[in-house]
A and B are shown apart, each in its own frame.
Chain A
Amino acid sequence: MVKKANAKHPPEESVALRASVLVAVLASTLAVLAQGVGGGALRLASTVGIAGGFAYSHWARYRSGYALKAMLAVGVLLAFAGFLRVATGIQPGAINEVQLPLAELFLWVQFFHSLDVPARRDLLFSLLSSLVLMAVAGVLSVSSALGLNLLVWGAATVVSLVLAHRSEVAALPSLGRLAGESRATVEARRSWGLRSATPALGVLALVGLVGGAIFLVVPAAGAGKAVAFPAKLPSTLAVPRTGGLANPSLGADDPAGDGRRSSTGTGAMASGYFGFTDHLDTAARGRPDNTLVMRVKAARPDFWRGQSFDTWDGRVWKQSHVRPVVASASDGSAIDLQGAAEDRDLGALDLGHDFVQTVYVEQPGPNLVFSAYAPAKVYFNGRSLFELDDGTVRTGVQLPEGSVYTVVSRRPPVTEETLRYSGLSGAALPAATQARYLQLPADVPARVRDLAASVTADAPTAYDKVLALEGWMAANTAYSLDAPRLPAGADAVDQFLFVDRVGFCEQIGSSLVVMLRSLGVPARLAVGYTPGERNPFTGLFEVRARDAHAWAEVWFPGVGWQAFDPTASVPLAGDPYSSAAGAGIVSFLRARLPSLPSWLPRTIGLVALAGAPLVGLSMLAAGRLRRRRALARRSWAEVQLDRLERAGAAHGRSRRPWEGPRRYADILARSVLPDPRLRAVADALESDAWSGDPPSEAARLEAEALLAAVLTADSRRDRRESAVKT
């Protein structure tokens, strides 16, 4: 078997196949390089080197190349040794850190292999290794930019497979040359049939259609057990105050600043959200823009929570109990968190199931660790984190673009039923904590309390109260980013519920929290981001600045804190959630593809309607021209024999390969074309084809005339016979 596997295969002659494989390989290597893999030498080898390697392989395809093979083996061993050297320096458990060295090793192997691909089998191996490279790029990539490489690679791979198959069949003995058929004709037929890549276009279209359909139903990635926990910190610029909150995107409002313009001199960024500071003023207006602030790799959507506020003064939310506790890495880069005291009391962090999220920071922002509630473990390359007693996690350093951290949250499997009957558990908050989350200013308008009481009059449980209040707000208020400004001295909740009835998430969330607190249900206002739009290709949630959000968190005895928001739909942790990989692809593409002008489809239709007959006629004319040219290349005898053969075939008597013109004419004359003049025609054909003394022009014309007369007589006879039958 080993001998068979190592058997030398015939060199591949098809340049087209070699070129298409090269395109696939280059598309994959470029895709990997685009993920920041490799230095200058590797980049050169993976592009120019591979292209040169393919050219050399074609040139040297007949050489034995034992010396080259030995050198390549040494090269691969050296690359592997380099990989091992790097890999042994990586801490145990940090599998994700092996990814880049492994990708570099793959690229080196691909380069060395490209120097020795003489046969079709080697090219197919190259194609397979390009698939592995593309997969490596897929693991490393978090953006849509990989799509272009993938498209080129996919098209080149399909073309390569089609060409390789045709080359494989062409290597077999072909059907032999027939009598009267020139070698050139046979070769032309073979080359057209077996070398053509035209079917690849059809296959590409089919792959697109069928693949699109499969993509719509295939399960999305990431629901299994995570083994890699990426973490990366491009720079370590410490925040001004240890354990404090910093948010350079707010400019002058940066809680870590001194109230002046930020060091960049640009003031607040368009992506800055006023909730990511030490207070939240509901009178503030202005929403963040569409800037992509982070990507989140997670198996399901959730609120990406940053922090919460517990103290309400009728207009501004503030944080009490801001006493950051240091949490440091115990092993490797994983930092275990204590969690909020009330969660610890419940044992929620032990009972819940792990929910892994990796956050890729795309825009500098606050030093908050965003994650689903409640974070239990963070993989972060900074030395330590700071934990607040409401589950908020802050980093000690700024989080620049390119930062990556992974959070493992622990979520109890909560469903509606769990929440509805949570009060039966009897587990209550400690008095101090309860007082903290039931805090209301003394001057809360009575009509707010009355409204909450009247709306929830028929709601027996805390969960039903939340639903009732959400329902009332959905029916009686409106979400709008153009809410009126809050008048001086006005209570924000009262203004929203009874005067404006228009607001955005801060007003809606605050109203829900205040009304719940007035009913004796502990609640707080959380800020962070909604899940964002899921990119069906990367599988990541793309979170934009405009996704910054505020929502209510409600305490349920025996369950813990649960997020509620009348304006955003996020499934509960225990709700079944299954997503196909291609879910939402239509809206995703529609939002990104340029919209066509309305006149374009109609114009295209008209052009197609008018152009179709023209194209048809052109194709007809081209076909005729091709046939005429083909005829012009044939000898006189071939042309006349073709006429004779067609006449014979029309009567069901084709010429056999072993029958020369004379014998064939004799047979026809005795059977289906009973005309003795055929003999003279056949004599002229044989004389023209094989004798050293071809017939004169006059003799040819005479033979042609005779043949025409025979065929005319034949057709007349046919007509007569059919008339008689009729």
Chain B
Amino acid sequence: MLRPANVSRPALSLGLVAIALFAIARTTGSGWLIVILTAIATVVLLAFVLPVASLRRLTISVDAPRDATVGRSAELVVSLAGGSSPVKLRPLGPFTDPSWSGAVAPSQGGLVVVPSRRGVISSIEFELSSAAPLGLVWWRKRLTVPLARAFEVGPKPVFDSRDRVPPLGREDDNVVKTIREYVAGDPIKLVHWAATARAGELMVKELEAPTAPVLTIAVDLRVDDPEIVASRSAGLALEGLRAGVPVELLTCDLVMGPRAGRVMSGVEVGRRLARAVPGPLPQP
């Protein structure tokens, strides 16, 4: 919906001067003052009306990247069409401190935003403001622009020192499965010296395969502050991935409901957590 946003100081000054001129014209009888007054009134009238036409003609479309993270900048590609007037625009939410950008339609360019909350964003509300062409009265209009592809904003990862990533199994800790004769190529450190002494020939240890723990994170958002849970889950999952531990997330998906599944990368962690909502979790 269109609404007047701001009458600029020059416009207010013009209005005051116009009132003064009218008073002077009525008391001095100066016709020229009426001519000047008419010109001012016309300029103010047009300054009031023309931005409306300018904003009405304007259309906006947006391309957003699929992945983003709370608190980190992401670039939207904004395309303006219709008219050729200067316009100010800013995305309203959910972004941190959206600032105004200037553009002249038709135009296309990148707009850097910082998402302020986690979630799946399917449309973005923009505020457009125009005072074109005279710059005296600003009108604004809010437009909700649907995205061709959802903008999935993952939580800001926070690693809490209380969270622990299980260590991967170490070779020293491995169990000896059997002892066999040495085969050329076996590492010397596997030689079982006691058995060699007993058998009189080189014997080597054959070990059990190393243990492979899985980090399963149950992201239960049915709490007072689900965002902290989501952030800690992201931090823990990324820490696990960094440590090489397989990570499994248990979430309640926005569309699919309870969902369990491994995540292989930070992007996947972000997407899963972006889509997570408070709800029942699957069994691990």
Give the interface of A toward B (CB within 8 A): 124, 127-128, 131-132, 134-135, 137-139, 141, 146, 150, 154, 157-158, 161-162, 164-166, 168-178, 186, 189-190, 193-194, 199-200, 202-203, 206-207, 210-211, 214-215, 218-228, 297-299, 356, 358, 535-540, 581, 654, 656-658
Which B residues from 219 to 270 make CB contacts under 8 A with A? none
Of the candidates B26, B31, B78, B99, which one forms a contact with A536 in the assembled complex, judged by CB atoms under 8 Å apart? B31
Q: Is the CB of B29 within 8 A of A358?
A: yes
* Bitwise interface map of B from 25 to 42 toward A, beta carbon under 8 Å scored 1, else 0: 111111111111111111
For B131, what are the chain A residues with a Cβ–Cβ distance below 8 Å?
Answer: 165
For B81, what are the chain A residues with a Cβ–Cβ distance below 8 Å?
Answer: none
With the chains together, A173 CA to B40 CA distance in Å?
Answer: 31
Q: Is the CB of B29 within 8 A of A298?
A: yes
* Bitwise interface map of B from 3 to 16 toward A, beta carbon under 8 Å scored 1, else 0: 00000001001100
Q: Is the CB of B26 within 8 A of A228?
A: no
With the chains together, A712 CA to B172 CA distance in Å?
Answer: 65
Q: Specify the chain A residue showing the minimal Cβ separation from B111.
A: A175
For A132, what are the chain B residues with a Cβ–Cβ distance below 8 Å?
Answer: 17
Offer 17 A-B interface pairs, CB within 8 angstroms, sorted by A: A128-B14, A131-B14, A139-B32, A146-B32, A162-B134, A169-B86, A175-B107, A176-B111, A202-B133, A218-B38, A222-B26, A227-B28, A228-B28, A537-B32, A540-B29, A654-B63, A657-B63
With the chains together, A222 CA to B42 CA distance in Å?
Answer: 21
Known: A131-B17, A161-B136, A211-B42. A138 touches B77 (CB 8 A): no
Known: A158-B134, A211-B42. A193 touches B110 (CB 8 A): no
Known: A162-B134, A177-B110. A224 touches B27 (CB 8 A): yes
Q: Is the CB of B77 within 8 A of A223?
A: no
B92 interfacial contact with A, CB 8 Å:
no
With the chains together, A380 CA to B141 CA distance in Å?
Answer: 60
> What class of interface size applies to chain B in its complex with A?
35 or more
Known: A177-B109, A203-B133, A210-B42. A224 touches B26 (CB 8 A): yes
Q: Is the CB of B109 within 8 A of A186?
A: yes
Q: Is the CB of A657 within 8 A of B17?
A: no
Known: A165-B86, A171-B102, A193-B84. A214 touches B41 (CB 8 A): yes
Known: A175-B108, A193-B107. A138 touches B35 (CB 8 A): yes
Q: Is the CB of A158 within 8 A of B31?
A: no
Q: Specify the chain B residue showing the minimal Cβ separation from A222.
A: B29
For A138, what are the chain B residues with a Cβ–Cβ distance below 8 Å?
Answer: 30, 32-33, 35-36
Q: Is the CB of B84 within 8 A of A220?
A: no
For B85, what are the chain A residues with a Cβ–Cβ distance below 8 Å?
Answer: 199
Number of residue pairs A-B, CB distance < 8 angstroms: 209
B125 interfacial contact with A, CB 8 Å:
no
Q: Is the CB of A174 within 8 A of B43?
A: no
Known: A150-B35, A165-B133, A173-B102. A139 touches B109 (CB 8 A): no
For A141, what are the chain B residues with a Cβ–Cβ distance below 8 Å?
Answer: 30, 32
B135 interfacial contact with A, CB 8 Å:
yes
B103 interfacial contact with A, CB 8 Å:
yes
With the chains together, A162 CA to B84 CA distance in Å?
Answer: 13
With the chains together, A157 CA to B36 CA distance in Å?
Answer: 12
Q: Specify the chain B residue showing the minimal Cβ separation from A214.
A: B38
B46 interfacial contact with A, CB 8 Å:
yes
Known: A165-B86, A199-B84. A207 touches B108 (CB 8 A): no
Residue among B78, B109, B131 facing the most chain A CB atoms (10 A cut-off): B109
Q: Is the CB of A189 within 8 A of B30?
A: no
Q: Is the CB of B136 within 8 A of A135?
A: no
Q: Is the CB of B110 within 8 A of A139?
A: no
For B108, what are the chain A residues with a Cβ–Cβ distance below 8 Å?
Answer: 175, 178
Q: Is the CB of A227 within 8 A of B27?
A: yes
Distance of A272 from chain B, by nearest CB (Å) = 29
Distance of B18 from chain A, by nearest CB (Å) = 9
Q: Is the CB of B17 within 8 A of A539?
A: no
Q: Is the CB of B33 within 8 A of A207?
A: no
For A538, what are the chain B residues with a Cβ–Cβ distance below 8 Å?
Answer: 30-32
Residue among B32, B50, B100 facing the most chain A CB atoms (10 A cut-off): B32
Q: Is the CB of B17 within 8 A of A189?
A: no
For B41, what are the chain A residues with a Cβ–Cβ distance below 8 Å?
Answer: 211, 214, 218
With the chains together, A200 CA to B101 CA distance in Å?
Answer: 23
For A186, what are the chain B residues with a Cβ–Cβ distance below 8 Å?
Answer: 109
With the chains together, A712 CA to B207 CA distance in Å?
Answer: 63
For A297, what are the chain B residues with a Cβ–Cβ distance below 8 Å?
Answer: 29-30
B88 interfacial contact with A, CB 8 Å:
yes
B158 interfacial contact with A, CB 8 Å:
no
Q: Specify the chain B residue showing the minimal Cβ separation from A154.
A: B39
Distance of A96 from chain B, by nearest CB (Å) = 9
Residue among B35, B41, B108 facing the most chain A CB atoms (10 A cut-off): B35
Q: Is the CB of B30 within 8 A of A169?
A: no
Of the candidates A124, A131, A154, A178, which one forms a contact with B77 in the assembled complex, judged by CB atoms under 8 Å apart? A178
With the chains together, A169 CA to B38 CA distance in Å?
Answer: 28
Distance of A661 from chain B, by nearest CB (Å) = 17
Distance of A233 from chain B, by nearest CB (Å) = 20
Q: Specify the chain B residue showing the minimal Cβ separation from A174.
A: B102
Q: Is the CB of A207 within 8 A of B75?
A: no
With the chains together, A154 CA to B25 CA distance in Å?
Answer: 19
Q: Is the CB of A220 within 8 A of B34?
A: yes
| Interface contacts beyond A162-B133, A162-B134, A538-B31: sample of 6 additional A-B pairs, CB < 8 Å, sorted by A | A178-B108, A199-B84, A199-B85, A211-B41, A220-B34, A538-B32
With the chains together, A657 CA to B108 CA distance in Å?
Answer: 11
Q: Is the CB of A164 within 8 A of B46?
A: no
Q: Is the CB of A168 within 8 A of B135?
A: yes
Q: Is the CB of B28 within 8 A of A226?
A: yes
With the chains together, A356 CA to B100 CA distance in Å?
Answer: 56
Q: Is the CB of B109 within 8 A of A176?
A: yes
Known: A139-B30, A172-B88, A226-B28. A657 touches B110 (CB 8 A): yes
